[in-house]
Structure 1
Amino acid sequence: MIMRVLLLEDDNLLSDLLNDHLIDKGYDVTLCLNGQDALEYLIDEKFDFALLDINTPIMSGLEVLKTIREEYKIKIPVIILTAYQDTKHLKDSFENGVDDYIKKPFDLEELDQRILRLCRQFSIEQNDNIVITPTISFDPDSCRITLEDKSVSIAQKERDILKYFCTHKKRVISSDELLQNIWAYEEIPTDATIRVYIKNLREIIGKEKISTIRGIGYKFE
């Protein structure tokens, strides 16, 4: 399944950049703009790793790190992101259980390599199978959706649409966005064709999973 990452970053430009980059790399990203929200997500849901900025509203990334380690015994890999250049914050981070530490500004390739190193260290593997619900999974490579008692083959474009939805959960996606990211310029379909693909997917995974936002587009839950 796609690896889930919690990203805590309150700088709007940087959070958007990191969020988009991680999604492009195939991660399922939950973005938080303050430490309290990040803490609640980490307690309530399962993540493969977390990226925590230190200086964030309500609770700092260090407070979040200390709380999940000491009070909730959450052992997922954590990388601290910080603009601080002093050794005190570095020392505090490692004393509170951080696994890696990266100073801003940093190159996205450096972040990618640090994430890959932690994944190897913690034996976290990313495969292409995507869990949609506890009873429904999706294998993009074989274009198949597996339900409790059967496996259903889907068309390549249905596969591409579903994969795009899965990496952009809970965000409204317009037909134009689907066109730009899935179809080549010379093969742009009509809106009716997209609606047929969406209808076919709904019949397999459930109508409630893909909602229509009238006049705007679709949202995958």
Structure 2
Amino acid sequence: MDHLAHTGNNVLIVEDEKLLAMMLEDLLMETGHRVVHAGSLGEALSLVEHQRFDAAILDINIGGQDVFPVAARLRELQTPFVFASATDVKQIGPEFRREPLIAKPYTIDQVQQSLDRMLAARV
């Protein structure tokens, strides 16, 4: 896997599927990122208010709730994010349709490439 070295970046994963979150967390930690996982909308909102993140990977449907309040707050904080979801793009509100979307099921390479683009844009 060809990826940029971004050792030490804080990455937020908002994902309610525990197995998928663990797999993603392990991969990102192996590539040198610090990872924080939120499994609920409330937990994600609290984390965003109390920690600084360099990037975020957001599942759109978290326990039956839309992740859009988290996305809106990340946007206000100028934190790049990508949606990673099986949700049809038509279900994404117009305010977020221009944000990157990785369709589930996705490959680890797709996630890493998207994360690399977000982090490179911050430099």
Same fold judged by TM-score > 0.5? yes
Q: 2:57 and 2:117 mapped to 1: Cα distance? A: 14
Judge conservation of contact 1:7–1:30 (CA < 8 Å) in 2: yes
Alignment match of 1:76 (pick from 76, 79, 90): 79
- Normalising by structure 2, report the TM-score: 0.84
Aligned to 2:33: 27
Judge conservation of contact 1:79–1:101 (CA < 8 Å) in 2: yes
Aligned to 2:4: none
Q: 2:89 and 2:47 mapped to 1: Cα distance? A: 29
Q: 2:64 and 2:46 mapped to 1: Cα distance? A: 12
Matches within 5 A, 1:7-22: 7-22=13-28
CA RMSD in angstroms comes to 2.0
* Residue identity opposite 1:81 in structure 2: A
Q: 1:98 and 1:42 mapped to 2: Cα distance? A: 21
Question: How many aligned residue pairs are there?
Answer: 117
Q: C-alpha displacement at 1:36, in angstroms?
A: 0.9
Q: C-alpha displacement at 1:60, in angstroms?
A: 2.4
Aligned to 2:104: 104
Q: C-alpha displacement at 1:59, in angstroms?
A: 4.4
| SS of 1:109 mapped into structure 2 | helix
**Aligned-residue identity in percent:** 27
Q: 2:98 and 2:40 mapped to 1: Cα distance? A: 18
Structure 1 runs of 4+ aligned residues shifted over 2 Å read: 57-60, 66-69, 96-99
Matches within 5 A, 1:79-94: 79-84=82-87, 86-90=88-92, 92=93
| SS of 2:27 mapped into structure 1 | helix
Q: C-alpha displacement at 1:120, in angstroms?
A: 1.6
Matches within 5 A, 1:198-209: none
Judge conservation of contact 2:89–2:97 (CA < 8 Å) in 1: no
Unmatched segments (≥5 aa) in structure 1: 124-221
Identify if the C-alpha distance between structure 1 residues 58 and 41 changes in structure 2 by more than 3 Å, giving closer, same or farther. farther
Q: C-alpha displacement at 1:89, in angstroms?
A: 2.9
Judge conservation of contact 1:54–1:82 (CA < 8 Å) in 2: yes
Q: C-alpha displacement at 1:98, in angstroms?
A: 6.4
Matches within 5 A, 1:65-214: 65-69=71-75, 73-84=76-87, 86-90=88-92, 92=93, 95-96=95-96, 99-123=99-123
Unmatched segments (≥5 aa) in structure 2: 1-6
The C-alpha deviation readout for 1:14-35, integer Å capped at 9, x for no partner, is 0111111111111100011001
Aligned to 1:173: none
Larger radius of gyration: 1
Which structure is richer in relative contact order (CA contacts within 8 A, separation 6 or more)? Answer: 2
Alignment match of 1:56 (pick from 62, 73, 76): 62
